């Protein structure tokens, strides 16, 4: 039996999915969520096999929900916004249902659910230890933008949230720096302070101070290495 969570802030949209799923006897709806925070809590608590996910929702949008999960279930997006289709497949979505969609279009999406043996191989590949996030999604003025991890110069903590600093500017995320750190390849990124993670490819110079080091990045920013991270810096780049 395939466990399903429906995530959408519109009741009518959740109801439609419920009705369409009635014909699938091997599926059971275990929960529904009307905002991003509820979705995260339910997914972590119930471990669904499949989620139907809206994009624009209160608290966290659909992409932000996925970013906060250690293990991502199968995803079918169901949304009224067509501009996020390519981004959806960046996060391995099975399909992208554009509202309003028909029953036959819904059926085609359901046909894309992998068979058990295929799903096992997919899951093992997706959550292999060497798999790290290559793209981050940030929202600016109600629009979602993709930030490639290779373009990040460094990450700094801004209160409870993390800011991605790139050549094109600074982008505030809805995640803490600890969550971002888990998504990054440790071969490319290193933490130098509890509030700073640097991309080694953008290090221009290391300056030794009396009891610490300053890291000068290619964009000119000077970042201080805290004592707790001195040994890591010495091992990697000093």
All residue ranges of the chain with pLDDT < 70 are 115-131, 141-142, 238
CATH number at residue 106: 3.40.50.2300
pLDDT score at 135: 82
Q: Give the structural domain span for 15.
A: 2-126
How much helix, strand and coil, in percent to the nearest 5, is found in the chain? 35, 35, 35
DSSP per-residue letters across 99-162 = SS--HHHHHHHHHTSPPHHHHHHHHHHHT-TT----EEEEEETTEEEEEEGGGEEEEEEETTEE
* One domain for residues 150 and 113: no
CATH number at residue 151: 2.40.50.1020
* One domain for residues 116 and 158: no
Only one residue has tokens 């959550």, namely 127
pLDDT score at 131: 64
pLDDT score at 195: 93
Among 103, 126, 149, identify where a domain stops. 126
- Cβ neighbours for 59, distance < 8 A, ≥ 6 positions apart: 35, 36, 37, 38
Radius of gyration for the alpha carbons in the chain, expressed in angstroms and rounded: 21
Query: What are the pLDDT digits (tens) for 131-162?
Result: 688 888 887 766 778 889 999 999 999 888 89
Among 69, 103, 126, identify where a domain stops. 126
Among 75, 109, 126, identify where a domain stops. 126
Quote the number of domains for the chain.
2
* One domain for residues 81 and 149: no
pLDDT score at 138: 82
Torsion of CA 175, 52, 105, 1, to 10 degrees: 140
pLDDT score at 121: 52
* One domain for residues 215 and 193: yes
* One domain for residues 16 and 116: yes
pLDDT score at 118: 47
Residues 30 and 3: beta-carbon distance below 8 Å: yes
CA distance 27 to 234: 53
Q: Is the pTM of this model over 0.85?
A: no
CA distance 161 to 178: 9
């Amino acid at each position: 039996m395939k466990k399903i969570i429906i995530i959408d802030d519109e009741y009518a949209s959740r109801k439609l999915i419920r009705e369409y799923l009635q014909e699938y006897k091997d599926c059971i709806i275990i929960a529904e969520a009307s905002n991003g925070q509820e979705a995260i809590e339910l997914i972590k608590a119930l471990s669904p096999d499949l989620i139907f996910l809206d994009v624009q929702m209160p608290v966290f949008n659909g992409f932000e929900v996925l970013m906060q999960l250690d293990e991502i279930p199968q995803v079918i997006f169901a949304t009224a916004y067509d501009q996020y289709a390519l981004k959806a497949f960046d996060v391995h979505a099975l399909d992208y249902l554009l509202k309003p969609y028909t029953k036959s279009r819904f059926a085609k999406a359901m046909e894309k659910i992998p068979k058990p043996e295929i799903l096992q191989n997919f899951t093992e590949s997706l959550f292999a230890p060497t798999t790290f996030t290559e793209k981050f999604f940030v929202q600016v003025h109600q629009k979602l933008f993709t930030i490639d991890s290779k373009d990040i110069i460094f990450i700094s903590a801004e209160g409870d949230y993390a800011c991605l600093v790139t050549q094109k500017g600074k982008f505030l995320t809805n995640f803490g720096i600890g969550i971002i750190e888990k998504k990054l390849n440790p071969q490319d990124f290193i933490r130098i302070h509890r509030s700073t993670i640097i991309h080694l490819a953008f290090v221009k110079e290391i300056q030794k101070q009396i009891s610490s080091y300053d890291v000068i990045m290619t964009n000119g920013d000077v970042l201080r290495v805290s004592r707790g991270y001195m040994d890591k810096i010495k091992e990697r780049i000093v």
